Structure 1
Amino acid sequence: MWLKLAWKNLWRNKHRTAITTAAIFFAVILSVAASSLQDGVFDNFIKNMVSYYTGYIQIHQKGYWNHQVLDNGMIRDSSYESRISNQKNITAIAPRIESYALASFKDLTKGCMVVGIHPEEENKITALQNKVTSGKYFDHKSGNTVILSEGLAERFGLQVNDTVYLISQGYHGALAAGKYLINGIVSFGSPELNDQLLFMPLHTAQEFYSAPDLVTSYVLGLKSDKYLGSTVSKLRHISGETYEVMSWKELLPDVDQHIKMDKGSMSIILGILYLLICFGIFGTMLMMMVERRYEVGMLVAIGMKKGILAMLFLTESIFTVIIGSVAGLSCSIPLVYYLKEHPIRIGGEMAETYERFNFEPIFPASTDPSIFITQGLIVVSIGLLLSMYPVITVFKIDPVKAMKK
């Protein structure tokens, strides 16, 4: 009976009910859209950063990260690689061998970082093939060929099909020397990487350093950053004390700190949004109680108990909150999916900066189901909390004063 009476009361004044429901409806849409864009932008930023070079996770021989020399590398273990690749959230595992060498052309010499890569797996993680500006990427026929970063090539005045000479110290002090045909040139937005990287196929790098089957790191790709913590824990469990497993947060602590600061700023903005939502919902409920003040006073005056009347008002408020929240969630879902498929595009200088780093200049939305659930519950909680205002008003009302016009 209470539910039926409360439901009929709602539609006794459709205009008033529509205004209150609309306040909650738009509150849900705003909170979901803001949270979705926040998560989407940060997820996209993290994806761009880790796909630039580091990957989501790296695995090294214990102690390698603090003292990065070939002698601290590890011999490839097919069974260990298989256990890594069997983790359900890992999308790629790219072995690398990284070390320094002196590159020489004519009378010019410059230090560079040699990175031996598995072409197919590396491309899955860093999309290195997309960064090639001239020449071509490695294929299965690539032998003694290399790909130079753009800044390094300009320093030497090298072009595709030229030859570069390398000399370095190999594994266990062996002499490393060789000449290599330039297969392509890649461009990095970061000057630090663009001025020093030289890529070669993994087997070629192992031959150059006299280090058969040696790698210095495994670089891993993930489906999403939300799986980072659980995946790192599992990998550390299967790696034991032999290997060190490091997430991108440990590899790029400055970036992690920057993201935390930005998230803190966004939390303040969301807090202000929730405050505005509170004022919006409270304003409609205040209006409702002012309009119904005479009605409440009369009902109390003729003998209706305030507790029963308060329960009726609370039920009406709950109905209003639920209707507005469900309607808001129903409309926010297609809106968020639209923003994911058609993300907000950045223009101007910021877009140029993104493109220089080979990042797509967009602000995408996240469609993580937890966003809809969390924001829906927050707005419902705010609505239910503010629903106590009509209840308190009923208990405090003076029927004589309420019926005075």
Structure 2
Amino acid sequence: MASVVFAVLLAILLNSIKEGVLYKLQENVVTFYTGAVQIHQNGYWEDQRLDNSFAQSDSLFELAKAHPDVNAVVPRLETFVLAASEKHTRGCMVVGIDPQTEPLVTSLDQKIVQGSYLENNDQGILLSEGLAEYLKLGVNDTVVLLGQGYHGVSATGKYAIRGLIKFASPELNKRMAYLPMHSAQNLFGAENRFTALVLDLTSVVKAEKVEEELALTLEGQYEVMNWKTLLPELNQVLEGERAENVIFLMVLYLLISFGIFGTILMMIVERQYEFGILVAIGMRKLKLSRMVIFENVMISVIGAIIGTVLSVPVVGYFYRYPIRITGKLEEAYRNFGFEPIFYFSIEPRIFYSQTIVVLSIALILSIYPLIKIMNIKPVESMRQ
């Protein structure tokens, strides 16, 4: 029983930390830029041009905000342009944002490494650190943007750099520029138009549910996409990690199975004389089998329940006080944009699933004593 207790406790702890770390990874990557759910004009994701933008709609804003799992609706106007300094040029993505609401999704104001964040009526621009370094520009320098606007209009403008942003993603760090929404709309001739509405959710795990419900509500007028479609590579990584976790748990359950089977085997061998006498004096083999199976199941179930009960305060403690990484490893985590913390998950399924699995193992292994007892020969058993 003790072996089952510790096996279940270990399985729950490892499952909890694995799910907690994966959830935080998912949340961190999603909040780099894309957000959990986005709303676009139909066809925009396949052909990301300003011509596929949509007009500002108060009713769409209100409908999205009305969903109980949506905290905020963040508008964006996105397109690619050529950024130029006196001697250098590089293609980059310009994002028109609402400086007040954008940090709700991406914490953009916390990524400033030089200069200051944008104000609502600002005429300046934010550049990613890698892009500014390539262009040989710094805070208060001027960058020129050259591109094509809505319906082919010429888009040219020069902006003072208010601040530099550092992204953990090298790709984002090389190509991002942010303008206040009014400046971006003026530059591209796209007055009162957006390319996307990014939804800030109460939880990233609710993204699929929100997508399905909003898609039904909007009745096909707009395309609604969750992060799994927006970031398929991240989804593949998470699925791969969860598959590895399943393999590890299978090995652990295999060890539990050997522990239970060893106990069953020892019990059968040591009680051969007892079983032989019981059968000899008239006890039915089927009734004897039921008794042994019941003993085995009770030991396993009680061990699993005790292990689950003991795991609740342990997991609860680490959920409230997660494990913090220190030293050089902490610095490495922060450089990649991740919190140097091992989080634990308290999803109910992590707890009750272990009891179910161990009970199933015990029931399957109970086939062995059933076969042995049904084939027992009283005289031979009493001689052992």
Task: Using structure 1 for the length normalisation, give the TM-score.
Answer: 0.87
Match of 2:99 among 91, 107, 119: 119
Report the Cα offset of residue 95 of structure 1. 1.0
Match of 1:73 among 29, 53, 72: 53
Separation in structure 2 between the aligned mates of residue 85 and residue 259 of structure 1, nearest angstrom = 29
Is 1:34 the equivalent of 2:14? Answer: yes
Report the Cα offset of residue 348 of structure 1. 8.0
Change (3 A) 1:145 1:40: same
Change (3 A) 1:250 1:297: same
2:301 and 2:358 in contact (8 A); partners too: no
Match of 2:271 among 292, 299, 303: 292
1:41 and 1:363 in contact (8 A); partners too: yes
Structure 2 unpaired stretches of 5+: none
SS of aligned partner of 2:76: strand
Separation in structure 2 between the aligned mates of residue 124 and residue 401 of structure 1, nearest angstrom = 77
Match of 1:357 among 322, 336, 342: 336
Match of 1:277 among 256, 272, 280: 256
Change (3 A) 1:267 1:350: farther
SS of aligned partner of 1:389: helix
Match of 1:130 among 61, 86, 110: 110
The answer for the alignment partner of 2:170 in structure 1 is 191
Separation in structure 1 between the aligned mates of residue 208 and residue 156 of structure 2, nearest angstrom = 41
Report the Cα offset of residue 281 of structure 1. 1.3
**Matched ranges for 1:111-190 at <5 A:** 111-140=91-120, 142-190=121-169
Separation in structure 1 between the aligned mates of residue 296 and residue 329 of structure 2, nearest angstrom = 46
Write the letter of the residue equivalent to 2:356. L
Separation in structure 1 between the aligned mates of residue 72 and residue 368 of structure 2, nearest angstrom = 55
The answer for the alignment partner of 1:90 in structure 2 is 70
Report the Cα offset of residue 219 of structure 1. 1.5
The answer for the alignment partner of 2:44 in structure 1 is 64
Separation in structure 1 between the aligned mates of residue 69 and residue 369 of structure 2, nearest angstrom = 50
Is 1:333 the equivalent of 2:316? Answer: no
**Matched ranges for 1:220-259 at <5 A:** 220-259=199-238
The answer for the alignment partner of 1:308 in structure 2 is 287
Write the letter of the residue equivalent to 1:304. M
Change (3 A) 1:158 1:369: same
CA-based RMSD of the aligned residues comes to 2.3
Report the Cα offset of residue 392 of structure 1. 3.2
Q: Deviations over 1:164-183 (max 9, x none)?
A: 23333222233333332322
Separation in structure 2 between the aligned mates of residue 349 and residue 280 of structure 1, nearest angstrom = 40
The answer for the alignment partner of 1:15 in structure 2 is none
Change (3 A) 1:92 1:280: farther
Separation in structure 1 between the aligned mates of residue 217 and residue 371 of structure 2, nearest angstrom = 59
SS of aligned partner of 1:45: helix
Report the Cα offset of residue 344 of structure 1. 4.3
Change (3 A) 1:224 1:289: farther
Write the letter of the residue equivalent to 2:184. A
Separation in structure 1 between the aligned mates of residue 215 and residue 356 of structure 2, nearest angstrom = 36
Separation in structure 1 between the aligned mates of residue 371 and residue 70 of structure 2, nearest angstrom = 55
Change (3 A) 1:304 1:22: same
Is 1:219 the equivalent of 2:195? Answer: no
Structure 1 unpaired stretches of 5+: 1-20
Percent identity over paired residues? 43
The answer for the alignment partner of 2:5 in structure 1 is 25
1:163 and 1:180 in contact (8 A); partners too: yes
Report the Cα offset of residue 359 of structure 1. 1.0
Write the letter of the residue equivalent to 2:16. S
Separation in structure 2 between the aligned mates of residue 224 and residue 284 of structure 1, nearest angstrom = 45
SS of aligned partner of 2:138: coil
